[in-house]
Amino acid sequence: MSILQTKRNLQFDWEKYWPDLSPLYLSFLELERDPYYSFLPEEELEDYLKKAIHIGEQTAKRYTDMNHLDFFNDVLKEDIRIRLLDQHPEQSTIRAQYHKKKQTIFIYKNSMREIGQFISKEIGDIPQIDIIALHAYHEWFHHLEETTIGRTDLKFRPVVIKQRGPFLVKRSLLRLREIAAHSFTQTALGLSWSPLLLDQFRYLLTKGYSNAQIRECFQDTKRTYYAIINKK
């Protein structure tokens, strides 16, 4: 069987190797980074997170039985190109990008390398195609947002950031799109772990955290989350 006819290489058990955190809490960390997060009423937090995760899961249903070959054929059928570039020209932390006008998914090799090295340290080498798929599925979700399902953030009530006379100034939370894209990727690829973990690990490892400290940090996240939710 060709490596294109499977997608099992990424379906390992994350918590056997590293501290784990479930998609709900990881999505909370993601939404917290939205510039307008502080304007979201606390009693709406959980609904926002669960709905964004659900949108990703629902959209992924069509893809769960596909192998890489089926998926990449689907991408080609819609005339979307995938290009691998060394790194994003301005922001080296960007892993990949969907460019609507150019009909192209750009995947940055520095991100592929980083993920490959991280996983290979504990688990062993992962075929490049799996790492490309991990990035491509995420960007494919953004493509679907632009072409068929609509932007995730626009499916939510925008937050009110200020009142100008009789007018309310409202903004949508763009990070909801990221939460849905990660949830889509996780479900489509059949992963037991959220790809958001890779971003969290990158962030905490560059701060010099050990596995034990990361575990502690994840416990803190859960405590913070419940403190907010229980204020209701």
Tell the smallest beta-carbon distance from residue 180 to Zn ion (Å): 9
User: Alpha-carbon distance 20 to 66, whole Å?
Assistant: 26
| Residue 34 or 178 having the CB closest to Zn ion | 178
| Residue 30 or 178 having the CB closest to Zn ion | 178
| Residue 106 or 214 having the CB closest to Zn ion | 106
| Residue 144 or 214 having the CB closest to Zn ion | 144
Local structure of 137: helix, strand or coil: helix
Tell the smallest beta-carbon distance from residue 95 to Zn ion (Å): 9
Residues in the interface with Zn ion (CB under 5 A) total 2
Measured from the Cβ of residue 30, the count of other Cβ atoms closer than 10 Å reads 22
CB 67 within 8 A of CB 5: yes
| Cα–Cα distance list, 176 to 155, 168, 221, 223 (Å) | 10, 21, 18, 22
| Residue 169 or 174 having the CB closest to Zn ion | 174
Structure tokens at 188: 């489509």
3-state secondary structure 178-219: HHHHHHHHHHHHCCCCCCHHHHHHHHHHHCCCCHHHHHHHHH
Tell the smallest beta-carbon distance from residue 178 to Zn ion (Å): 5
Structure tokens at 63: 């893809």
Rg (CA), the chain: 18
User: Alpha-carbon distance 111 to 84, whole Å?
Assistant: 11
| Residue 188 or 214 having the CB closest to Zn ion | 188
| Residue 151 or 215 having the CB closest to Zn ion | 151
For residue 202, give the H/E element and its range. helix 196-206
Tell the smallest beta-carbon distance from residue 121 to Zn ion (Å): 25
| Cα–Cα distance list, 153 to 48, 55, 149, 156 (Å) | 10, 11, 12, 6
User: Which residue's Cβ lies closest to Zn ion?
Assistant: 181
Q: Which of residues 149-208 bind Zn ion (CB under 5 A)?
A: 178, 181
Binding site residues, Zn ion, CB under 5 A: 178, 181
